Amino acid sequence: MRVVLADPPAFTPMYDHELAAALARAGMDVELVTSHFRFGESPLANGYRRRELFYPLSSRLFQRSRLRLPLKIAEHPLGLAALRAQRADVLHLQWLVPELDLRLFRPHAPAVFTAHDLLPRRTARKQDLWRRLLARFDRVVVHSERGRETLADLGVDARVIPHPVFRSDPDRHDDGRTVLAFGVIRPYKGLGDAIEAVRHVGDARLIVAGDPLEPMEPYREAARGVDVDWRLGYLPQAEVDRALGETTIAVFPYRPELDQSGALLRALGAGVPAVAYDVGGVAEPVRTYDAGTVVPAGDVEALADAVHRLLSDGDALERARAGARRARESLTWDASARAHVDLYEEIT
């Protein structure tokens, strides 16, 4: 079976790579169609082919500048034309540009869409737009039961395929008091809550590791008096491993926004337990595998209490670490690939 995976904006290059490689191991003929990744090196194709057919200029001339957006809009129809030219038994799209794709995108093969962000923040209120777009796909994938319920409200019967972990084995240099806030820094990630929770805990250190998409001065001001190690920018894998290797627990005080967190799955994949707000599907792997603690969304006091308990109770911390290891063994890319192949066979 020839599967064309498409991530036009290269939003999730690690996810794309791992899924494509796992599908190839499962016997699929896989081509990944994407664009140049603007912030680092893309993973080398392993068992599949990779083609950068989208945004040849805007993805190379700009990084986060808004100046790239008009050029990207002009390039998008050309990328869609190149995508339509790819022979496919199944077309599996990872991301949409909703307002443009409503007018321009029509699948040329049996089609699957993975709703990583469910209803992205800019268009979340445009429910009719999403109903019409998602109706063009033969199957829609989400990463959690919460995601399935969200799309059911739009009349979409989505299939749950859990997000696998990104497995790693960093050298451990954990001092028993280090909390990690990891991932691209956006308003919904709740960095302010993470800082406040660590302040309440007292004898704890916070690593902030990620690429800021918002001003950092308010966070630096809020962190006065807190032991914070700022590691800002798009971090190469070696730096990610270094941060995970120094981490006792990771925190994910997210506001409602997305179905699942790749940053959380990288933490669990390194054997690091998590404390997470109960939003979207983020809490599901933590709760399912007992890989940390889930607290009510927005409750900074409960977040601080959970962090303090794991840092101060060795038995509780070891149970959470064992849960993270269970998640690592269960949430594999090969298992995800098998579930995807079953889905593809339903529509071909």
**pLDDT tens digits, one per residue of 92-111:** 999 999 999 999 999 999 99
Q: What is the rounded average pLDDT for all residues in the chain?
A: 93
- Domains recognised in the chain with CATH numbers: 2-163+332-347 (3.40.50.2000), 178-330 (3.40.50.2000)
Neighbours of 3 (CB within 10 A): 26
Q: Which pLDDT score, from 0 to 100, does residue 61 have?
A: 80
Question: How far is the first Cα of the chain from the last one, in angstroms, to the nearest whole number?
Answer: 9
Question: What pLDDT is stored for residue 58 in this prediction?
Answer: 85
344 pLDDT above the threshold of 70: yes
With a cut of 80, say whether residue 257 has pLDDT above it: no
% of the chain at pLDDT higher than 90: 81
**Three-state DSSP class for 160?**
strand
Q: What is the three-class DSSP state of 11?
A: coil
The confidence score (pLDDT) of residue 120 equals 53
105 conformational bin, left if phi > 0, alpha if psi -120 to 50, beta if neither: beta
- Res 124 pLDDT > 60: no
Residue 4 CA to residue 280 CA, distance in Å, equals 28
Q: What gap in Å lies between CA 18 and CA 24, rounded to an integer? A: 10
Q: How far is CA 10 from CA 92, 203, 216, 321, 342, in A?
A: 14, 40, 25, 32, 25
DSSP state of 189: G
Using CA atoms, how far residue 132 sits from 105, 160, 346, in Å, is: 11, 21, 22
pLDDT score of 108: 95
Predicted TM-score (pTM) of the model is 0.91
Across the chain, the runs of DSSP E, i.e. the strands, are 2-7, 29-35, 49-54, 90-93, 111-114, 139-142, 159-160, 178-182, 205-210, 227-232, 249-252, 274-277, 292-295
Q: What is the pLDDT of residues 261-316, one digit of tens each?
A: 999 999 999 999 999 999 989 999 999 999 999 999 999 999 999 999 999 999 99
Give percent helix, percent strand, percent coil of the chain, each to the nearest 5: 40, 20, 40
Tell the residue number behind the tokens 């494509």, with chain if given: 20
Q: Is the pLDDT of residue 119 over 90?
A: no
